[in-house]
A and B are shown apart, each in its own frame.
Chain A
Amino acid sequence: MYEKPLIQINHLKKYYPVKKRLGEMFKKETAYVKAIDDVSLVINRGEILGLAGESGSGKTTTGEIIVRLQEESEGEIIFDGHPMSAKSKEERKRFRKEIQMIFQDPYETLNPRFDIYETIAEPLRIHGMKDKNQIYEKVVQALEVAELKPPELYLNSFPHELSGGQRQRVAIARGIVLDPKFLVADEPVSMLDVSIRADILNLLKRLRRDMGLTMLYVSHDLSTIKYLCDRIAVMYLGKIVELGPVDQVLSNPQHPYTKVLLAAVPVANPDHVKERLLIDDEVPDQINLPIGCRFIPRCPFVHERCSQCTHELHEYSPGQFSACLFADKEQVLNPDRILEE
């Protein structure tokens, strides 16, 4: 049975113009930071897709464009069969209802002057719910789903009275109270203590199972992506470099950048033998991009043919796509790029 995907991203681009310096005033071309550069991606119904990459890779921008916090420069996003560029106010409001976002920092995303009831009731009112009993019921229900039990005890609390984990649950309750179809979670656990991270991850898993929520999970942490997600997309400088089922990608990465990322994750096991892949840890220049593959300046497997790379995704193994010109087995360490520590 073929079902239409919930979200289809076609050739999405987001360019930020760079301010010209005084001496460049008369230059004709403007330089751009290409935060997202021709990204196409499909998110299926009921799926949790992990978006990985380092700072500046464009992962957060992608999430923000989907929730309409930013406008794309080019390309289109089709949500549930409707193009999101729709200009009518009503359609926009509908998108806002069906797509919700959870942010990184629960200390900053909640209004300190709103109690928990008000925090969660606000979106309901904005979207036209008037009946007080109905609102109350919805709020209590959302708190219960977010596992703040018993909910009555939290209703009149203020954010400062709650712990970080509880605050993130409130943010989640607010995110789900409108029964959205799609949730963007941008690093939702990175500010939380380790002992409660698992709780939030398990809660997100449960939301998918019980409510059929589709999610985009944005994180630089591969181990939480591995735990939560079905598929993973790895971004590097605005391009998707690898895409596939999460277990497959992480156990058998095809793109050199994925290999490097994976090798850098610390492992809590003294018996684990690590294969080190050292690369230059300088943040790459986002304006003057190399010709061909964007990973050329840092890639340990770089080859002269890489300047012909167009970042087209190749399916080297079923369901797993890599933007590298070379299949996994053809990637050979370049002796010039071996760094000594």
Chain B
Amino acid sequence: MAFLDVTDLEISYTVGSRTLKAVDGVSFSLRQGQSMGVVGESGCGKTTIAKGMMQLLPKNGRISAGSIQLKGKELVGLKPEEVRRLRLNEIAMISQSAMNALNPVYTVGDQLIEGIMAHTRVSKKEAYLRAVEVFSMVGLEEKRLRSYPHQMSGGMKQRAVIAMALSLKPSLIIADEPTTALDVVVQDRILQRILKIQKEINSSMIFITHDISVVSEICDTIMVMYGGKVMELSATDTFFRNLYHPYSLGLQNAFPSITEMDEELISIPGSPPDLIDPPVGCRFSERCPFATSHCAQKRPSLVEVAPDHFVACHYTEKVDEFRKKARCNETWETVRERMTAERRFEGVQTNV
């Protein structure tokens, strides 16, 4: 039994009279102390997974199938009261706009102490000492506990929110783009701090980001998502040495690197699929330069291409050819041409 086991997780949103599966059959597991990076474009379902695990889905969203087991305990279907007890104690979340989530009329310290006291049986004094301790872990002075949010910079607020999330030493940290709005220097320090604390309290972490280079620096494993599905799942260093999935190859091409000279950036033409009416076959087939008619009809399942390296593609045996061709702009141009032709065709149809 792993520390965290997510099996065939499905999360749906109701939009008008229709249902949209934002997360569709996602499975992964995590050992204690391990960190996993989840990457993908907007709308791939990465934030929905985080909200689903925290049971913080909006009213029109629900977990429609699958299970989430934390230390053997099933989280799906728990009563709100039980979930509330779990939050902060066992699972804590650091979200992207967390720094705007602070209440402007209370001091940061009051908010931190309130959280600690709501979830543990400690005196106010003990809670205060705990607050000082976690503040020093994120590099904030004790006197900052008496500050109001508006007296702090963005980076400081984000650190205060991280301190809050980690105040009860949760066994699972879910970080959803915790540094996206911050400057690189601040981002770097905050990432190092999160990483250090995560190792110190030996908790597991799910780190959600659109930036694969951040994952490369701080996570043990990586999960690439597209259109609500897992495309590739692997240990981080094997992933960056041996990419398999055409989508991962596309992402790598699209990323400017600070170390490489004379690189050419190639983007992935098109945009993510409409999940109300998703493609029957592989979700990436519309934008994939290597897609065949088989890809459009049959959905690939995750196959293990190397130990603990899983890829959802029908043509994993052609990976050498894919890797070579994916470096050429012409390869991806074919997708763009295909799409322009289709759009013209649709345009003609609607005009008629």
Contacts and interface: CB of A to CB of B under 8 A. Distances in A.
Instruction: Determine the main DSSP class of B at the interface with A.
Output: helix
A260 to B, nearest CB: 6
Nearest to A228: B256
Contact of B254 (A195, A247, A272): A195
Interface string A268-292: 1110101000110111000000000
B42 interface: yes
A124 interface: no
Interface residues of A, number: 46
Interface stretch (A20-28, A146-154, A318-326): A146-154
Nearest to A57: B183
A272 B259 contact: yes
B177 interface: no
A193 B216 contact: no
A281 B186 CA distance: 5
B153 interface: yes
B338 interface: no
Interface in B296-351: 340, 343-344, 347
Contact of A266 (B153, B188, B251): B188
Interface string B171-188: 000000000000111111
Contacts of A270: 216, 236-237, 240-241
B137 to A, nearest CB: 11
Interface string B183-211: 11111111111001000000000000011
A181 interface: no
Interface stretch (A3-11, A36-44, A198-206): A198-206
Interface string B242-263: 0000000011111111110101
A265 B347 contact: no
Interface stretch (B9-17, B99-107, B114-122, B265-273): B265-273
A193 B259 contact: no
B71 to A, nearest CB: 30
Interface residues of B, number: 53
A235 B108 CA distance: 32
Interface stretch (A88-96, A168-176, A216-224): A216-224
Contacts, number: 137
A269 B217 CA distance: 8
B271 A163 contact: yes
Contacts of A262: 258
B343 A153 contact: yes
A264 interface: yes
Contacts of B240: 268-270
13 contacts: A54-B183, A150-B344, A153-B343, A194-B255, A222-B258, A223-B255, A223-B257, A264-B189, A266-B187, A268-B215, A278-B189, A341-B189, A341-B192
Q: Which 7 A-B pairs have the closest CB atoms?
A: A198-B265, A268-B213, A264-B188, A198-B267, A270-B237, A266-B213, A223-B256
Interface of A: 54-55, 149-150, 152-153, 163-165, 193-199, 201-202, 220-224, 226-227, 247, 250, 260-270, 272, 274, 278-279, 281-283, 341
Given A150-B340, A268-B255, 20 more contacts: A55-B183, A149-B340, A193-B41, A193-B42, A193-B210, A194-B41, A195-B250, A197-B265, A198-B265, A201-B256, A224-B256, A265-B188, A266-B188, A266-B214, A269-B257, A270-B240, A281-B189, A281-B190, A283-B154, A341-B193
